[in-house]
Amino acid sequence: MLYRLLLGVLVAVVVSAIRPPSAATVTIKNNHPLIFYHGRWDSSPGTWWTGSGFKLNVENLQSLALNLGLHTTSPFAAIGVSINNAPFFTVNASAGITPIPLPPVSSAARGSTTLVRINVEGSVSNRINLESITLNANAVLHPYKPSKLVFQFIGDSFSSGYLLPMGVDQAWTFIVGERYGAEHRINAAPGAALTDVPSYGNVHGISYQYFKVEDTNYYYTTDHNYTTPWNFARDQPPATHVVIHIGANDSAQNVTASQFVQVYTDFLARIRKLYPHQPIFMLTPWGWPTSDGNVYYYYQGQYQEVLNARTTLGDKNIFLVDATGWVSYEDVFPDSLHPTVDGQVKIANEFTAWMENWGLSPNASINA
């Protein structure tokens, strides 16, 4: 009897050595140090602001699922996923388990690492609350090595992916980041003015909200109806270039030219404290094109006034990017006058050409 019991145990031990117990997966908790978070995350941790997300560098990756908590947008938040720098595709992620479809792993790629990039696409309905990530059993996390180049974009609908099928992942801001193989942080909200006035559902302007964890959607949530200060020390590595395109909704809210210049100048003073050595690029409007061929611009000449105000204070590291003529009627959705998917690519081309002329070229080997 004892003999048979011991034999049974022995067999079980041998079998389990050959076929390991059903630990078919590895669970990566949200506080794992090798999850490279970017954008704005609250302590749950959950995303705010379009484009926020995380990156993983995984050896032997065969399966991946996100386990999301109750602060995730219901019924889902659209997320963009890119594997090994392939084009982004969309997954609708919901509270509970969301499997991420992966391309089949070729035998040549086994044992090598896979880069996974995930970000929320929307300007609204953009909250994912990451509890953990489930990977296949023999998957191993490696550090993600961030790019030396980090763009910080600040803006309104034009920069946020508003109306685009894949949201921010098709916006000029995101495209520029991709071209340069850069990290991108995008703080852009449709309808928002720079001035801290209510505008099209935004209870605050960007000059207030930029310094907060939450985007202006916080006001419409019941589980997190408050703002908290953003700890800019969490932006690692720090931005290397700051790019701002804003003003359309200040104009729509009848903020006067002199008020706008004052608000923008004050905002830049705060931005300069955060980014003491970084070049700041201030785009002038590309305006609102119309079917008759005219383009309507707002605050003409005022961006130059902002620049002059900063220069007078001794700030020589701010540049005016003249976006006049970048967009015409065929580049916009006729009903909303916002750039289409192709229009956004055109803007990215124009901005990249401007930056090359200024002295920053995309890294050809990253983009080959």
Ligand X SMILES: *[C@@H]1O[C@H](CO)[C@@H](O)[C@H](O)[C@H]1NC(C)=O
366 binds ligand X (CB under 6 A): yes
Q: Residue for token digits 């202006």?
A: 216
- Give least dist CB 188 to ligand X, A: 9
92 binds ligand X (CB under 6 A): yes
Out of 254, 291, 312, 357, point to the residue binding ligand X (CB under 6 A).
254
Residues 160 and 299: their CA atoms lie apart, in Å, by: 21
Of the pair 39, 190, the CB lying nearest ligand X is at 190
Pair of tokens at residue 272: 């300069």
- Give least dist CB 251 to ligand X, A: 9
Out of 225, 236, 256, 367, point to the residue binding ligand X (CB under 6 A).
225
125 binds ligand X (CB under 6 A): no
Out of 22, 222, 231, 357, point to the residue binding ligand X (CB under 6 A).
222
- Give least dist CB 124 to ligand X, A: 11
Stretch that binds ligand X, among 27-35, 155-163, 312-320, 327-335 (CB under 6 A): 155-163
248 binds ligand X (CB under 6 A): yes
339 binds ligand X (CB under 6 A): no
Stretch that binds ligand X, among 19-27, 45-53, 209-217, 359-367 (CB under 6 A): 359-367
- Give least dist CB 92 to ligand X, A: 4
Stretch that binds ligand X, among 1-9, 123-131, 153-161, 342-350 (CB under 6 A): 153-161
Could you write out the three-class secondary structure of the chain?
CHHHHHHHHHHHHHHHHHCCCCCCEEEEECCCCCCEEEEEECCCCEEEEEEEEEEEEEECCCCEEEEECCCCCCCCEEEEEEECCCCCEEEEECCEEEEECCCCCCHHHCCCEEEEEEEECCCCCCCCEEEEEEEECCCEEECCCCCCCEEEEEECHHHHCCCCCCHHHHCHHHHHHHHCCCEEEEEECCCCCCCCCCECCECCCHHHHCCECCCHHHHHCCCCCCCCECCHHHCCCCCCEEEEECCHHHHHCCCCHHHHHHHHHHHHHHHHHHCCCCCEEEECCCCEECCCCCEECCCCCHHHHHHHHHHHCCCCCEEEECCCCCCCHHHECCCCCCECHHHHHHHHHHHHHHHHHHCCCCCHHHHC
27-66 residues near ligand X, rule: CB under 6 A: none
- Give least dist CB 307 to ligand X, A: 21
Of the pair 39, 287, the CB lying nearest ligand X is at 287
Of the pair 44, 195, the CB lying nearest ligand X is at 195
- Give least dist CB 7 to ligand X, A: 53
Residues in the chain: 368
253 binds ligand X (CB under 6 A): yes
**In this structure, how many other beta carbons lie within 10 angstroms of the beta carbon of residue 163?**
18
276-305 residues near ligand X, rule: CB under 6 A: none
- Give least dist CB 113 to ligand X, A: 14
335 binds ligand X (CB under 6 A): no
Of the pair 81, 307, the CB lying nearest ligand X is at 81
**In this structure, how many other beta carbons lie within 10 angstroms of the beta carbon of residue 138?**
13
200 binds ligand X (CB under 6 A): yes
Tell me which residues touch ligand X (CB under 6 A): 90-92, 148, 156-158, 190-191, 200, 219-220, 222, 225, 248-249, 252-254, 363, 365-366
